[in-house]
Amino acid sequence: MDLGEKQIHILNVAEKLFAKNGFDGTSVRQIASEADVNIAMISYYFGSKEKMLEALMHYRFEGFRREMDKVMSEEGDYFEKIDHMIAFMIKRIHQNRYVYKVANSEYSKQNRQVNFEKYVAQKIENYKLIEALIKRGQQAGVFSSEVYIPLMIPTVVGTYFHFYYNKKFFMTLFEVDKEEDVDDFVYTTLTAHIQQTIKKLLSNEN
């Protein structure tokens, strides 16, 4: 998807408002006002609020598979590749946490008007890539054959979002005062914990 500077600006504004007020709680008029554009321009670019969210998800999530392929091709044994994979996933999720929040909320609704076909297709592709790595490790006798692969991604992503949705509590618990220190905590301590957890689950030494 080729987007112009103005379209990207509108999507960035919409992303923040969706994350703050919810998709239903954000109007096209609010987005237009915050982005300092007229409503007609939003209609011209995206057609509707639902189409805007679809464009936002595609904009944020495109390229994930391509970048993950590069991470998987890096030098290292199977456990090192798992470390690289998790570090990459956490970084991408944290950087795009606002749209993940909106996407997860809208996707869980029974009566939704947003088309999630591309979003689901991307998630399936990403799962298959990770599944293939773990299966290769199992065939090589490095990873446990008893691990339930479909729950590996929920373990990674769920741990991150539990931390982030309870960020205020954890900032108090770990005495983290500044928002930028949260980023550092996510990229170091939290990532290392998730890496350790996943490798323990995959280990044949259990």
11-20, 103-112, 134-143, 184-193: which has the minimum mean pLDDT?
Answer: 103-112
Going from N- to C-terminal start, the domains of the chain cover 5-58, 63-202
Instruction: Confirm if 87 and 195 have CB atoms less than 8 A apart.
Output: yes
Between CA 179 and CA 139 the distance in angstroms is: 43
Two tokens at 143?
């990873």
pLDDT digits (tens, 9 = 90+) for 35-74: 999 999 999 999 989 899 989 888 888 777 778 888 777 7
- Structure tokens, 12: 């960035």
| Rounded distance between C-alpha atoms, residue 74 and residue 81, angstroms | 7
Read off the pLDDT of residues 5-18 as tens digits, 9 standing for 90 and up: 999 999 999 999 99
- CATH class entry, domain 63-202: mainly alpha
Q: Under a CB-based contact definition with an 8 Å cutoff, are residues 77 and 105 in contact?
A: no
User: Does pTM surpass 0.95?
Assistant: no
pLDDT in tens, 132-141: 999 999 999 9
Query: What are 153-174's pLDDT values in tens digits?
Result: 999 999 999 999 898 898 888 8
pLDDT score of 75: 77
84 CB-side CA count, 13 A: 17
Q: Does domain 5-58 have CATH number 3.30.300.180?
A: no
Report the distance separating Cα 20 and Cα 125, nearest Å: 29
Please report the DSSP string for the chain in residue order.
----HHHHHHHHHHHHHHHHH-STT--HHHHHHHHT--HHHHHHHHSSHHHHHHHHHHHHHTTHHHHHHHHHTSSS-HHHHHHHHHHHHHHHHHHTHHHHHHHHHHHT-SS--S--HHHHHHHHHHHHHHHHHHHHHHHTTSB-TTS-GGGHHHHHHHHHHHHHHTHHHHHHHTT--SHHHHHHHIIIIIHHHHHHHHHHHHBTT-
Neighbours of 127 (CB within 10 A): 14
For the chain, percent of residues with pLDDT exceeding 70: 99
Task: Say which residue the tokens 């703050």 belong to.
Answer: 20
Is pLDDT of 98 > 90?
A: no
CA distance 186 to 206: 27
